[in-house]
């Protein structure tokens, strides 16, 4: 994007966020709230969160149309739990109380938090792929799911199909790795809980994850206070996963494995392992590699 385009986009985001913030505050119930919330969170301060949403929207119409509603949720969350607003500022290291200064400080520090979280997730994917052959093949598969699905099927057909010796061996080998999970929700819960790198997840990474899920998953129905706790990394993996609809689980998987076709992923959420493609086929690809039937690029040898 050229400099003048960036300036134009920033101006557009700012104006859209301001209009949405005006609507959000005007349409929020007139409940008794802390004087701190009333004094500090004005239209401009609330618009910081709107600008953050629009940076993640990538021109997605649903996110843009839902901007006012999301800001209203956020405003009401801080109204009902002013202590979480104070905790939010504490986590970000925000000292300003004057709305004019608070706007600029929040703009900078909140975006830095999200940037740091996004950087952690990107680094995590690279490290998991580098450190583990299994993860290498899961990410490899996700990079071009249809092609690698065809390769696995082709190799199996050359060796007697699913009922042949190789097919039976694959089934016997993969099932213990996948475990007894009935669907991807159960599998990813175990995966996130056990993976040593994910045990070291940083607060910005948790905040970023909550932020992008909240923006992108329209079916989300978190408690208002849980929403803020998520933004400041106060929610555990288990609580996060239990609070998500199937589309939310799918969104987490798409963050880790961005190459999976959306339709296949949605189907796998309700059907189970026969249709889920990262574990079922990605691990088969890895197993074929250990047999010397495909190379590290997933190509038949």
- Give the pLDDT confidence of 1-13 residue by residue, as tens digits: 687 788 888 888 8
Residue 93 has phi, psi (to 5 degrees) of: 75, 35
Is the model more confident about 80 or about 68? 68
Instruction: Give the range among 44-48, 106-110, 192-196, 268-272 with minimum mean pLDDT.
Output: 268-272
154 has a pLDDT exceeding 60? yes
**134-138 long-range Cβ contacts below 8 angstroms, 24+ apart:** 134/177, 134/283, 134/286, 136/286, 136/296, 137/282, 137/283, 137/285, 137/286, 137/289, 137/298, 138/257, 138/278, 138/279, 138/282, 138/283, 138/286
**In Å, how far are 145, 157, 280 from 166, measured between CA atoms?**
21, 10, 15
Which pair of tokens denotes residue 268?
Answer: 């796998």
254 has a pLDDT exceeding 70? no
Distance CA 273, CA 252 (A): 17
> For the chain, what is the largest distance between any 2 Cα atoms, rounded to a whole number of angstroms?
73
The tens digit of pLDDT for each residue in 201-243 reads 677 887 888 888 888 776 666 676 777 777 777 777 667 766 7
178-197 average pLDDT score? 55
What pLDDT is attached to residue 276?
A: 45
Indicate yes or no: pTM above 0.75: no
- For all residues of the chain together, what is the average pLDDT? 77
Domain boundaries, the chain: 3-113, 119-290
% of residues, the chain, pLDDT over 90: 20
């Amino acid at each position: 994007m050229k400099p003048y385009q960036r300036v134009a986009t920033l101006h557009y985001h700012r104006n859209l966020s301001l209009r949405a913030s005006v609507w959000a505050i005007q349409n929020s119930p007139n409940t008794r709230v802390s004087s701190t919330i009333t004094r500090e969170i004005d239209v401009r301060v609330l618009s910081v969160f709107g600008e953050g949403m629009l940076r993640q929207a990538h021109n997605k119409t649903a996110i843009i149309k839902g901007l006012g509603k999301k800001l209203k949720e956020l405003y009401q969350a801080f109204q009902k739990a002013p202590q979480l607003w104070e905790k939010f500022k504490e986590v970000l290291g925000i000292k300003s109380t004057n709305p004019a200064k608070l706007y600029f400080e929040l703009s900078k520090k909140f975006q830095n938090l999200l940037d740091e979280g996004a950087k952690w997730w990107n680094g995590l994917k690279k490290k998991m792929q580098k450190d583990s052959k299994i993860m290498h093949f899961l990410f490899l598969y996700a990079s071009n799911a249809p092609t690698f699905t065809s390769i696995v099927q082709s190799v199996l057909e050359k060796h007697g199909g699913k009922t042949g010796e190789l097919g039976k061996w694959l089934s016997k080998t993969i099932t213990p790795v996948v475990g007894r999970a009935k669907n991807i929700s159960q599998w990813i819960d175990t995966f996130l809980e056990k993976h040593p790198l994910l045990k070291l997840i940083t607060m910005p990474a948790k905040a970023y994850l909550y932020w992008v899920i909240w923006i992108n998953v329209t079916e989300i129905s978190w408690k208002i206070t849980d929403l803020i706790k998520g933004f400041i990394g106060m929610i555990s993996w288990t609580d996060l996963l239990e609070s998500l609809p199937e589309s939310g689980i799918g969104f987490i998987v798409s963050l880790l494995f961005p190459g999976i076709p959306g339709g296949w992923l949605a189907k796998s959420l309700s059907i189970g392992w026969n249709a889920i493609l990262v574990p079922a086929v990605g691990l088969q690809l890895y197993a074929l590699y250990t047999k010397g039937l495909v190379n590290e690029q997933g190509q038949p040898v």
